[in-house]
């Protein structure tokens, strides 16, 4: 008898002007640009061919708009969960990397080395990873044997995957970030003790991949 496996699909939102211009977005709430809308429409065709059982999005507009576009032909309503917000970058949000490096050289070095950044309201990596991973585990448990799609953000997804794989969110650097409207697929580990861990089945799939 074939066992139906649960699937978790993590989707990064489409492009925004901040993405295009190389600005750090964090939790700044800005919309998709024209390119981002086209990316989401391309992904919508792939999602319609193999729809999930549920779609949940970050409440930030760029993620929610992406989710609504890709859900149009599925008949699904999009729910939101603040657990899938992007990593908060505090005083750095809206800035380019070179400006951050010039104004905060020591803190910038800590950030690039995956060390905690103090005093600037930058959310710690383990905190982000665990809030995303915990919400993913809960959704997968609620839809056992089904497919859960989450539309969120680059840093949040990368850290969430790292945590779901049981890896150190400060030390591990082996996972490339998702491009806009690309997605990754994870499956829960089967057997004991699984402890809520997952395996990465596919990573950074393009919008038109079916």
3-class DSSP state for residue 157? Answer: helix
User: Which is it for strands 78-80 and 183-188: parallel, antiparallel or unpaired?
Assistant: unpaired
How do the residues of the chain divide into helix, strand and coil, expressed in percent and rounded to 5? 40, 20, 45
C-alpha–C-alpha distance, residues 124 and 210, integer Å: 35
Q: Give the distance from CA 76 to its chain's centroid.
A: 20
Q: Which residues of 180-190 are buried (b: 16+ CB within 10 A; e: fewer)?
A: bbbbbbbebbe
- For residue 185, the surrounding DSSP H or E stretch is strand 183-188
All residues at 6 or more sequence positions from 142 whose CB lies less than 8 Å from its CB, including other chains: none
Residues catalogued as catalytic: 13, 86
Give Rg (Cα) of the chain. 17
């Amino acid at each position: 008898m074939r066992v139906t496996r649960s699937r978790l699909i993590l989707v990064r939102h489409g492009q925004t002007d901040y993405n295009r211009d190389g600005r750090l977005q964090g939790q700044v709430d800005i919309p998709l640009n024209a390119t981002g809308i086209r990316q989401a429409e391309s992904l919508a065709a792939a999602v319609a061919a193999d729809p999930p059982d549920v779609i949940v999005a970050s409440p930030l507009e760029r993620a929610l708009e992406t989710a609504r576009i890709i859900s149009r032909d599925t008949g699904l309503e999009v729910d939101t969960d603040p657990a899938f917000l992007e990593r908060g970058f505090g005083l750095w949000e809206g800035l380019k990397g070179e400006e951050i490096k010039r104004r905060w050289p020591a803190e910038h070095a800590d950030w690039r080395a995956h060390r905690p950044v103090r005093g600037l309201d930058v959310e710690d990596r383990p905190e982000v990873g665990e809030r995303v991973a915990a919400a993913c585990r809960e959704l997968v448990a609620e839809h056992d044997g089904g497919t859960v799609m989450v539309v969120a953000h680059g840093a949040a997804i990368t850290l969430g995957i790292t945590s779901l794989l049981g890896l150190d969110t400060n030390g591990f650097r082996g996972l490339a970030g998702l491009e806009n409207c690309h997605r990754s697929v994870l499956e829960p580990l089967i057997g004991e003790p699984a402890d809520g861990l997952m395996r990465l089945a596919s990573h950074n799939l393009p919008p038109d991949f079916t």
